[in-house]
Structure 1
Amino acid sequence: MRVDKIALSGWRNYEWESVEFSGGTNVITGSNAQGKTNLLEAVYMLSAGRSFRTRFDREIVGFDFSSAELIADVYAHDRAQTIQITIRPGQAKKILVNGVRKTAGELAGTVNTVLFCPDDLNLIKEGAAVRRRLLDNAISQIRPKYAELLGEFNRLYEHKTRILKDWHEKPSLLDTLDEFSDALCRISAQLIRYRAAFTARLDEAAAPIHKEFSGEGEELKIRYQTVSTVTDPFAPAREIYYEICEHQEKHRQAELDSEQCLTGAHKDDLEIFINGRSARSFASQGQTRTAALSLKLAEREIFLDETGEYPILLLDDVLSELDDARQAFVLNRIGGGQTLITCCEDEDISRRTGGKVLFVEKGRIR
């Protein structure tokens, strides 16, 4: 699985630029604020149909441009494809795969990527939203149906939240509250089953990586946490739905009082333990970084097991945040697939990986 070539027009600070990548390691170097992460953002968008840096596509469109466009030649699942994404402020994003119109959900799975950026080093200590995003980004790529369900869940959640915020001024809004609550319970049941299954795979894949990585035989354990009334997240969706409805019924008045949605998959989290103790509460900075790296490398192994191909690995200025031992561990495990690494200084990394070096300066690549 690889991106052979990508062309950008009006994409952040790229007026017009194209670049060909090696099928192995690519080291993208240059000073800060030159466009290195912008290039990785474009590659990531091929798999997710959205940015990992902003919720608003309009921010991708460069100054003095009316639109942003990328065209990429990719090879995945034993065939070559061309992906074209066009963003125009005020209009729906246009995605074409081999000339056929697709939604962002339908794009999922065309190309797979695993992104690791400096913020991910804190995913053990940060709030639950960061860990849910890890689950959502990964599952959406290997289960396109999940991406569709997640999009519908987010739409319903926003509607219900507005009802809870505004019902005091417009009581008639409560006429539809239970309808939205029921729909959220139904979709939550399906999301929970997907997340529980992926968490089990992540737990299995990350444990041996972390044990080797820590050098001390540390035991990493990952446990899925969801709505408190759900007794078995692997049960049929109908059973989970009934249990979520029980939680919803108990918390309906609390939702009205707090003006917040209290029932649903938006409260899910991953509990991470090192040697039986909560990593979030007790782990050192070194331990949490090792655990975060283990999760990302495990995600890559799951994609390989699922598709038979390594996903494209995107390392966005993350190696500079690691000590020499952790750098070496990561670099020793990235063989077998395409990797794009951004950094400010390339000499040592390019030498250690034997990768192709691309220099970025003011939105130009050479």
Structure 2
Amino acid sequence: MHINTLELHNFRNYEQESFVFDPSVNLICGENGQGKTNLLEAVAACSTMQLFRTAQKKEGLRFGTDSSRILAEFNAQNRDFQLELRLFRTKSMEIFKNGVRQKRQSDAAGVLKTVLFCPDDLLLIRQGASARRRFLDTALCQLRPNYARFLEEYSRTHEHKTRILRDAEQKPALLDLWEDFSLRMAKLGAQIIRYRAYYIKKLLAAAALVQSDIAPHEALTGAYKTVSTVTDPFAPAAQIEQELISHVFSHKTAEIAGKSCLSGPHKDDLLLDLNGRSAAAFGSQGQVRTCTLSLKLAERELFFDEDGEYPVLLLDDVLSELDRRRQDFVLNRIGDGQVLITCCEDEAAEKLHAGGIFPIQNGKKY
């Protein structure tokens, strides 16, 4: 899997620019604030249909413009694809796959698969649960189109139910809808939990192997934490659904009082331990970074196991955040597949033996 060409029109600080990438390693270099990360964000958007630095797609528009376009041509599973994303200031994003407009974002997510590693990810272990859910969801939405659809509808239903709870004090009649939305969230949530459980099981097994290579004396283990009434996240969806219904109905009074949805997979977490102790609470800075490296590289291996080809790996200025030993480990692990790396150091090109080099200045190649 690799991207052949990428065209940007009024995206972030790019007015009009095009790139032809090497199928191996591509180095995107330049000073800070010139648009290196913007380029990776455009590539990542073509796989996830999201901008990884903001939830507001209109923020991807170049200043003073009302629309933006990202056009990628790539090869996946020995087939050529063209994917076009059109972003607007005043309406929803439009997506075209091979020239055909897609009805839903989930219809295009995961055709191009990417794994992104950026400096913020080094804080993944110590960040809140929402960051780890986002990490899981980004991979699963690419691997499992049905999961993306379930998650998309669950998010909308959760948003509507939250609005009902917040407005119920002024409009008590809205609470008549509480049960319908709760039941729908339970049905969708059961599917989400099963997908997450199976993925986390594979992820942790792969991450433990990577961790043993980086730090042989540090055993990485973990657990999936979901709604307390779910006795087995691998159980049939119908069983999980009933357990979710039981939990949410027992918390109805608390939800109304708190004006928020207290129950469901939107509260899930991925717990990680090193040698039996919480990595977040007891791990050193180096240990936490090693855990994150293990998770990200394991994610890449799971994509390969699924498709028989590596996803496009996006490394956003992450090497400078790692010590030399961890830098070498990452570089030794990316011998196959296409890689796009951003950096500020001029000597990186020689160290990485890059196939393509793209100096960037103020949103332009030079």
Tell me by how many angstroms 1:185 deviates: 0.8
* Deviation string, structure 1 residues 164-190 (Cα, Å, up to 9, x no partner): 111111100011011101111111100
Quote how far apart the aligned CAs of 1:352 are. 2.1
Structural mapping, 1:115-194, within 5 Å: 115-194=116-195
Could you list the per-position Cα deviations for residues 223-258 of structure 1 after superposition, in whole angstroms to 9, with x for gaps in the alignment?
111000000000000000111111112111111111
CA contact (8 A) 1:85 1:95 kept: yes
Query: Partner of 1:150: helix, strand, or coil?
Result: helix
Is residue 351 of structure 1 aligned with residue 350 of structure 2? yes
Distance in 2, Cα, partners of 1:65 & 1:162: 32
What letter is aligned with 2:244? Answer: I
Q: Which residue of 1 aligns with 2:82?
A: 82
Deviation at 1:344, TM superposition (A): 0.9
Query: How far apart, CA to CA, are the structure 1 residues paired with 2:227 and 2:64?
Result: 47
- Judge conservation of contact 1:72–1:84 (CA < 8 Å) in 2: yes
User: SS at 2:34's partner residue?
Assistant: coil
What's the CA shift string for 1:57-103, capped at 9, x where partnerless? 11111123221111111011111111111112112211111111123
Q: Which residue of 1 aligns with 2:217?
A: 217
CA contact (8 A) 1:61 1:68 kept: yes
**1:295 alignment counterpart:** 295
Identity %: 50
* Contact 1:311 1:338 (C-alpha < 8 Å) held by counterparts: yes
Equivalent in the alignment of 2:337: 337
Deviations 1:287-335 (A, max 9, x none): 0000001000000000000011100000111111111111010011011
Secondary structure (helix, strand or coil) at the match of 2:151 reads: helix
Distance 1:120 1:92 in 2: 28
Per the alignment, residue 319 of structure 2 pairs with: 319
- Could you tell me whether the CA contact under 8 Å between 1:50 and 1:104 is conserved in 2? no
Distance 1:91 1:253 in 2: 37
Partner Cα distance (1:104, 1:320) in 2: 34
Q: Deviations over 1:206-230 (max 9, x none)?
A: 001001111x331101211100000
What amino acid is aligned across from residue 7 of structure 1 in structure 2?
E
Alignment partners' CA distance in 1, 2:92 and 2:256: 34
Compare 254-263 and 35-44 and name the one that shifted more.
254-263
Aligned letter for 1:178?
Answer: E
Secondary structure, aligned partner of 2:336: coil
Given that 1:27 and 1:341 are in contact with CA atoms closer than 8 Å, whether structure 2 keeps it comes out as yes
Residue 176 of structure 1 aligns to a residue in which SS? Answer: helix
- Cα separation, 1, equivalents of 2:135 and 2:92: 26
Matching residue's letter, 1:354: H
Q: Please list the CA deviations of residues 139-180 of structure 1 after superposition, one character each: whole Å capped at 9, or x if unmatched.
A: 000101111111101101111111111111110001101110
Counterpart for residue 29 of structure 1 = 29
Query: Which one is further off, 137-146 or 161-170?
Result: 161-170
What corresponds to 1:205 in structure 2? 206
Q: Which amino acid is 1:194 matched to?
A: Y
Q: Do the aligned partners of 1:27 and 1:343 also contact (CA within 8 Å) in 2?
A: yes
Calculate the TM-score normalised by the size of structure 2.
0.98
Aligned equivalents of 2:222, 2:303: Cα separation in 1: 18
- With 65-74 and 303-312 compared, the bigger mean Cα shift is at 65-74
Mind listing any 5+ residue stretches in structure 1 that lack a counterpart? none
Partner of 1:252: 252
CA contact (8 A) 1:105 1:144 kept: yes
Partner residue, 2:61:
61
SS in 1 for 2:310: coil
Question: SS of 1:193's equivalent?
Answer: helix
SS at match of 1:224: strand
Alpha-carbon distance in 2 for matches of 1:332, 1:188: 39
**4+ runs deviating over 4 angstroms:** none
Instruction: State the match for 1:365 in structure 2.
Output: 365
Across the aligned residues of Structure 1 and Structure 2, the Cα RMSD in angstroms comes to 0.9
TM-score (norm 1): 0.98
Of 304-313 and 251-260, the range deviating more from structure 2 = 251-260
